[in-house]
Amino acid sequence: MDLDLHRTCANTIKSLSIDAVDAANSGHPGMPLGMADAATVLWASFLKHDPADPSWPDRDRFVLSAGHGSMLIYALLHLAGYDLSLDDLRRFRQLGSRTPGHPEFGHTDGVETTTGPLGQGISTAVGMAIAERFQRETFGPELCDHHTWVIASDGDLMEGISYEACSLAGHLGLGRLNVLYDDNEISIEGSTDLAFTEDRLARFQAQGWHVLSIDGHDPAAVAQALTEAKAQTTRPSLIACRTIIGKDSPLAGSEASHGAPLGAERTRQTKIALGLDPDKAFDVPEAAKRALRSHEGPSQRAAWSARLQDHPRGADFLSWHHDSGEDLAARAPWPSFEPGGSLATRKASAACLKAIASAAPNLIGGSADLAGSNGTNIGKPSFTKERFQGAGTLHFGVREHAMAAIANGLCLHGGVRPYVATFLVFHDYMRPSVRLSCLMKQPVLYIYTHDSVFLGEDGPTHQPIETLLAMRALPNLEVWRPADANETVAATREILQRTDGPSALVLTRQNLPHLSPPDPRDMAKGAIVRRNPADSPDVVLLATGSEVSLCLEAAEVLAGQGVQAKVVSLPCLERFEALDSAERDAILPPGIPRVSVEAGATLGWRHLVGPKGRAFGIDDFGLSAPAEDIAEALGFTPESIAHVARSVLGS
């Protein structure tokens, strides 16, 4: 692209960005003004994509990690021919528009991931790059041969999650991951010198990255750097683009250009500086459209489709991308457990993972340095810098937050089924990324073990109390806490078939007695009646996980005292509460006193037990002691639960 055409494209992106922000009276013009030059070079000459098929599996992935600059990607998508009109740009940040304030996956064609919380985009991109290399080494470059491109800001690199994810990317040698760093030395409060003075380039070099530093406003320098980055096959690349935030505006170089509209007069001055008509808003020259259209994308996609048809493993590739959870659940050799035995649910989960792995060669995942404790070793080789083909085990190290974001990237890329694991109490380290799984409706499997105070001697720092409550507060997260090994199998089957959001599988360290396998129809409802007296019960005991067996023992104690107790396992409250009132009433009969029993915070149970019932749990921190001593001290014994049940009956 010659320099005049480049300027036409870049200036159009700048103009559209400031016009949209002005129209909304809200937004971030500084970043699009600063990165328009680099983005123009990338999209015009390097990005492999086809707007006619935004989900083409072999497209390049573009991630705007600096999601506050969302008008940059919206302008690019419009000019490149995606289904995003000028009217959509005019409705930037408005109710129901397709141009929300930060890019949202599933909302706008061409947006590969939801960004906004800084550090998330670049970390998610690491997962995309892992998925690409795994499939390229499995099926060959004929079917998988693309790159992952990221635009990241100072804020992205300040967030701790980016340290975690980029360290792993360097360790794995993800040579097709390329990051354009908007090195403008400005954050919201002013110069980055206020708080961010480390040598960022040396940091990335130490993490095993290929590092370049260029003038981000020089298109020739940008093109040369992108060419060098693409040529790197064994190291990810960081291209530090020295830019001026708010370039060409009266606020150039100032933090004042970051997060507020320029306003009519400054917009006018900016357009004059760019050589544009100051009286025209949302003006798009045809030359800019033509230049940013993906001229090679359609032919590249057509050639790829032809190769797919002729490829000896083309059917396998398609199954990786389209195989349903129902089909996989039907193929997997699920374990079963006979009543009379006992097993920790984390060990039952380990058997389930191996069953899925035997039926799904694209199952990949791992643990935050806790594989033995979490039961996540599926018996497949580890991913290493030298080997991805045939691997299945990712070693995330002690990087819970990046692990969750990488799982999102694996899922978003397509073609793999990810799972990740840690102790339940460390969900707090992952929560922002799990929240994005929920928002993007990505079916990530989150495995959490050591689920309560009954993990024992590690004490309060490792014993989750409020964590289940916090997880259940997340919209679109299904939290499964099975009562035994057989419920663990049934829960995993339900999770495997879910396509519209993530699931958390919450598991015990300690052994639990095997119960009878649940009816799949009951499991789908999130509720299993484990004990139901022939006559109308006097009290209903509700529980999850390890506390179900405790309630069954308590029911026997009550029976000996002339009190009939119904016991209900509620492995998934989200499923149960989604039932209609008649179905819920059939399981929890109205008018009969209820006691909930869960080794955690009681707040989330109070609406289920009602004013006459009792939520029995733990509303303080745990204890450091053997599990049996903790149970006795906190009242988690059959006799204590029976006493609580009698108290709600007034006896």
**What does 141-194 look like in DSSP terms, one character per residue?**
TTT----EEEEEEHHHHHSHHHHHHHHHHHHHT-TTEEEEEEE--EETTEEGGG
The one catalytic residue among 132, 159, 164, 400: 400
User: Assign residue 563 a region: left if phi > 0, alpha if psi is -120 to 50, beta otherwise?
Assistant: beta
Within 10 angstroms of residue 293's Cβ, the number of other Cβ atoms is: 15
* Pairwise CA distance, residues 22 & 28, whole Å: 10
Cα→Cα distances 175→180, 228, 283, Å: 14, 11, 39
DSSP 492-536: HHHHHT--SS-EEEE--SSEEEPPPPPPHHHHHHT-EEEE--SSP
Contact 50, 109 (CB under 8 A): no
Residue 9 makes CB contacts below 8 A (sequence gap 6+) with: 1, 40, 44, 79, 287, 288, 291, 292
Indicate the DSSP class of residue 335.
Answer: -
The burial class, CB within 10 Å (0-12 / 13-18 / 19+), for 341 is exposed
Secondary structure of residue 78 in the 3-state scheme: helix
> How does strand 148-153 pair with strand 61-64?
parallel
Measured in degrees and rounded to the nearest 5, phi and psi for residue 646 equal -65, -30
Which has the closest alpha carbon to 621: 598, 599, 595, 596? 599
- Which helix (H) or strand (E) segment is 249 a member of? none
DSSP annotation of 424: G
Let me know if 245 is exposed, middle or buried by CB neighbors in 10 A (0-12, 13-18, 19+): buried
**DSSP bridge partners of 245:** none
Sequence-distant (≥ 6) Cβ neighbours of residue 194 within 8 angstroms: 187
Is 228 considered catalytic here? no
**Residue the block writes with tokens 């790159």:** 147
Tell me the three state secondary structure of residue 382: strand
Q: Which helix (H) or strand (E) holds 221?
A: helix 219-231
For residue 436, which of 482, 405, 465, 402 has the smallest C-alpha distance?
Answer: 405
Give the span between the Cα atoms of 37 and 243, in whole angstroms. Answer: 9
Nearest to 563 by CA among 583, 582, 543, 537: 537
Active site residues: 400
